[in-house]
Amino acid sequence: MPATGLREALADRIRRVANQPVGAADFAPERVPDHLQISFRAVDARGRVVGSDHDLAALQGRLSDRARQAVTRSLSEQRRPAPLRPPEGTGFTERSGITTWDVEALPDVVDTRVPGGVVRGYPALVDAGDSVSLRIEATAEAAAAATRVGVRRLVLLSTPSPADYVLEHLTAAEKLALAASPYPSARAAIEDCRLAVADAVIQRSAPGPIRTGTAFATARDAFSAAVVDELFQAVSLLARILTAAREVERAVKATNALTLLAALNDVKGQLAGLVYPGFVSRTGLARLAHLPRYLQGRCSG
């Protein structure tokens, strides 16, 4: 297995060369003089330093927006020279207002020659609420994260929301639970459940990244076929969670022993971190299924 960092690489080398039992934890980077530590610098097109740090990830984080803008600008300015790796389909152009998958394939990268080297951009689908935008990101990680959410938005836009139908056919107990939820309305709670259902269905139908029209069509059709039944199940689960959360709140309020004050505050903090507007889609249906049992344990504990 290859080493994953400088300390791991040094330890591996010493073990092989000197046959000494050295591990990564045996090194103390903080004792290395500052001028001997690895330093990273970012420069602009004119060679001017725009940032430096010993931590590459921290430097990338600080300059992420600037890097994305620079990549986009470079690709736009250098559009006449052919990209080193041409995008599939009709080519890549940043645009907005997209409401359906209308590209043959979303390329992994777009490389463009610029003076002094190559600028690499990572195309992504970015969720814009009522549409998505096709945009260049500065890193593969940012593009992958954005595209997951962007694909979900396109899948949701492809199928009319059954939220009103589901709300109309809930039991009285479920409607009561949703009415007392932290969401601004029962419909908002159902729509958050729809987001979670979309995530679950997309993951089942396409475990890997969706970057082609064929993969998107598979996910869209799977969601369209499953959304009503799975949305009912998700809302029912949400109602059980909200009911259990209220029981925990009542139990906490009914306990006024000063010796338990710290424990009660801890329970309140945990509850606030579990149940809040948007928690269904952020938690995901797989982990959400464990919340009723956990909340019952908090109540009985």
Is 152 domain-assigned? no
Is 17 domain-assigned? no
Q: How far apart are alpha carbons 151 and 166 in whole angstroms?
A: 24
Give backbone dihedrals phi and psi of 105, rounded to 5 degrees, phi first.
-160, 145
Is 248 domain-assigned? yes
Residues 294 and 163 in one domain: yes
Residues 108 and 164 in one domain: no
Is 154 domain-assigned? no
Task: Decide which of 156 and 20 is more confident.
Answer: 156
Q: Which domain holds residue 214?
A: 159-300
pLDDT band for position 5 (cuts 50, 70, 90): confident
Task: Decide which of 89 and 111 is more confident.
Answer: 111
Is 123 domain-assigned? yes
Is 21 domain-assigned? no
In our burial notation (b when 16+ CB lie closer than 10 A, e otherwise), range 82-117 reads ebeeebeeeebeeeeebeebebebbbeebebeeeee
Q: Which of 23-32, 175-184, 270-279 has the lowest mean pLDDT?
A: 23-32
Residues 167 and 284 in one domain: yes
Residues 99 and 164 in one domain: no
Q: What is the pLDDT of residue 45?
A: 62
Is 145 domain-assigned? no
Q: How far apart are alpha carbons 55 and 24 in whole angstroms?
A: 18
pLDDT band for position 99 (cuts 50, 70, 90): very high
Residues 163 and 289 in one domain: yes
Residues 228 and 284 in one domain: yes
Residues 121 and 213 in one domain: no
Task: Decide which of 171 and 103 is more confident.
Answer: 171
Mean pLDDT of 188-202: 97
Task: Decide which of 137 and 119 is more confident.
Answer: 137
Is 85 domain-assigned? yes
Q: What is the pLDDT of residue 59?
A: 74
Q: What is the pLDDT of residue 51?
A: 79
**Percent of residues, the chain, with pLDDT higher than 70:** 82
Reduced to 3 states, what is the DSSP secondary structure of residue 252?
helix
Domain total for the chain?
2
